[in-house]
Amino acid sequence: MRKFDTKVQYLKYQVLREVARMAWNDTLLDAAVDIPKMIVPGKRPTMRCCVYKERAILAERVKIAMGGDKSNPNVIEVIDIACDECPMGGYEVSNSCRGCLAHRCEDACRKGAITFDHNHAAHIDKSKCVECGACAKVCPYSAIVNHKRPCENSCKVKAISMNEDACASVDNGKCVSCGACVYQCPFGAITDKSFILSVIDLIKKSDGNKNYKVYAVVAPSISSQFEYAKLGQVISAIKELGFFTVVEAALGADMVAYSEAAELVEKKTLTSSCCPAFVDYIKKQFPDLEKYVSHNLSPMATIAKYIKETTPGAKIVFIGPCTAKKMEFQKPEIRPYIDCVITFEELQALFDSRDMDIKTLPEDVLDNASYYGRIFARSGGLSDAVAQALKEQGLEDFDLQAVSCDGIEECRKALLRLKAGAAEGSFIEGMACLGGCIGGAGCLTHGEKNKAEVDKYGWEAYEKTISDAISVFKLK
C-alpha cells in the first residue's frame, strides 16, 4: 500500500504516528525520548553516516511533531543537523564534457564566460557568469549542470539562503509558509511544525463530545488523497478518531465565491483571499496591492465561523493539504473560528496511531457543498466558481477578466501586471502551490490524476448550484 510520494514523508509520518500513539496513551512525557531508537533500531545506519546522527535528527523531528520551536513564529522550520549542505556552485561543467568542436556553449554565452583548456574541455569563469543557463540548454551532452539547492530552487519567493555554516536558513520576512521547500528537500531538513498534540488534547478533553463538540472541517482536496480507501470510509475514520462530525470546507468556498463575485462587481479589481500563502505574499512583496485583496474570510474560516455561531462551544479543526493554513489560523482575526490545523499527512499518522484499518470501515457520507465549492481545490476552480456566482446573482453582464495563477511564479507575474495598471474586471485567483491546493505540501500524494479526482468529486455533489448550497447560511 503506497501512501506517500517520498521516503522523507514516510519518515516524518512514522515520527508523528509514534508521538500521537503515546499522546493517546498519556505516555508521551516519559517515552518521547525512546522514539528515535524505535524508528532506527540496531547499529547499522540506513539513511546517514551512522545511527547516532540518524537518531539525533529523529529527536529533532520528535520536537517538531510536538509543536517545534516556540520562539520561531514560522511553522516552517529548518533542522540544521539534517541539512546536507548540498553543493551550491550554480552552473558548472561536469566531466561529461567531451571537448567537442562545435562549442555551442561558447556561442550561447553572452557574457564570454566560457573558456577551453588544452583538452578542449569547457570551463565557466564564475566572475563573468550570470547563471542564465543558456550554455546548459545548448550542450548536446547535457554536460553543464546547475548546482542549485533543491530548497532554494523550490522557494519562488526567495526566502531561503545559506547561513555561514552552509546550512539552509529561512527568512521569515519573505517566507509565505507554502511548504514547497518542505516537500522538495531530499533530506527532509525543512519541515512543518505539527499541532497534532493540540488535536488529540481537544478530542480527549471533549470526553466523547460531551463537554463540547469537536468538528472536522475538511478541504476538498481530500478527494485526491487516501486513494487506497473510499472517501466515505475516510469520513468514518475521522469520526472514529473522536470527531463529532465532518463538514466540507467547500461549503465555505461556495459562500466565498458568492460574496466575492459581489465584491468584485463593486470594486472592479480583486485578488482572491482563499490561499493564505498568496495573501501573505501580497502583504510582504506587494504592499501597495493589499487594497485589492478580497475582504472575504477564507473558505475554512467562513464555514468555521458559521459552525461557531450556530453551535456555541464548538471546537473546530481544519484538515487540509496546506502548511500556510497553520499560519493563517493563528492570526487574531481567524483564531476565534479555528482551534487547530493539521495536514492530510498528519491525519494519516493519527489514523495509524490508533491502528485503524480504514478499508474495513463502513462508508459514511460527506455532502454539504456544490460542484463549484469543491473545485476550489484545483487551479482555475475559484475563477469558475466566481463566474458561476456572477451568473446566479444576475450579474453576468459584468465583464469578468479572470486570471488563474497556478503557482507563486504566475502569481508574481499577475501582480506585477496589476501594479502596472490592470484592466477593469480583473479577478486574480492566486494559488501558491502548483496545481492549486492539490499540490499542497501537506498532501500524501501529488499525482497526475489528482485534478480529475477533484472534478469527479465536484460532479458528485448533491447541490448543483452555489445558491442552493449556501441557502443554509440563512439559518442562524
Partner 1 sequence: MKITICIGSSCHLKGSRQVVEKLQELIAQHDLQEKVELSGTFCMENCQKGVCAMLDGRVFSLTPEQTELFFKEEILPKA
> Rule CB under 8 A: which residues touch partner 1?
215, 235, 244-248, 307, 310-311, 364-368, 462-463, 468, 471-472, 475-476
Number of H helices, E strands in the chain: 20, 15
- Euclidean distance between CA atoms 320 and 195, whole angstroms: 13
Tell the smallest beta-carbon distance from residue 310 to partner 1 (Å).
Answer: 6
Name beta bridge partners: 388: none
Classify the C-alpha dihedral 233-237-238-243 as positive or negative.
positive
Contact between 177 and 75 (Cβ < 8 Å):
yes
Considering the complex, state which of residue 17 and residue 305 has its C-beta at the smaller distance from partner 1: 305
Shortest spacing between CB 328 and partner 1, in angstroms:
22
- Of 235 and 282, nearer to partner 1 (C-beta) is 235
**76 or 231: whose CB is closer to partner 1?**
231
Nearer to partner 1, 420 or 475 (CB): 475
Shortest Å distance, C-beta 385 to partner 1: 19
Backbone φ, ψ for residue 341 (5° rounding): -130, 130
Residues 6+ apart with CB under 8 A from 448: none
162 or 472: whose CB is closer to partner 1? 472
The shares of helix, strand and coil residues in the chain, as percent rounded to the nearest 5, are 45, 15, 40
Q: How far is the CB of 462 from partner 1 (least distance, A)?
A: 6
318 in Cβ contact with 172 (< 8 Å): no
To the nearest whole angstrom, how small is the minimum distance from the Cβ of residue 12 to partner 1?
Answer: 31
User: Where are the strands (E) in 392-443, listed by range?
Assistant: 401-406, 426-431
Nearer to partner 1, 110 or 476 (CB): 476
Quote the least distance from Cβ 243 to partner 1, whole Å.
Answer: 10
Give the Cβ contact number of residue 108 at 10 Å: 17
- Nearest residue (CB) to partner 1, 299 versus 440: 299
Least Å from the CB of residue 245 to partner 1: 4
Q: Decide whether 28 or 314 has the Cβ nearer to partner 1.
A: 314
How far is residue 288's CA from residue 334's CA, in Å, rounded to a whole number? 23
The SS3 assignment for 427 reads strand
Q: How far is the CB of 307 from partner 1 (least distance, A)?
A: 6
Nearest CB to partner 1, comparing residues 236 and 294? 236
Grid cell, residue 329, equals 489560523
Closest CA to 51 of 60, 43, 39: 43
In whole angstroms, give the CA distance from residue 236 to residue 208.
15
Closest separation between CB of residue 311 and partner 1, Å? 6
Q: Are 313 and 212 in contact (CB under 8 A)?
A: yes
Cα three-residue angle 307-75-27, rounded to 5 degrees:
80
Q: Output 78 or 366, the one with its CB closest to partner 1.
A: 366
Query: Concatenated DSSP letters for 314-325?
Result: -EEEEEES-STH
Map grid coordinates 478533553 to a residue: 205
Kindly state the smallest distance separating residue 254's Cβ from partner 1, in Å.
13
Nearer to partner 1, 72 or 310 (CB): 310
Assess contact for 62 and 15: CB atoms under 8 A.
yes
Q: Which of 320, 294, 297 is nearest to 309 (CA)?
A: 297
State in angstroms the smallest separation of the CB of 314 from partner 1.
9
Q: Going by DSSP bridges, is the β-strand pair 160-162/245-248 parallel, antiparallel, or unpaired?
A: unpaired
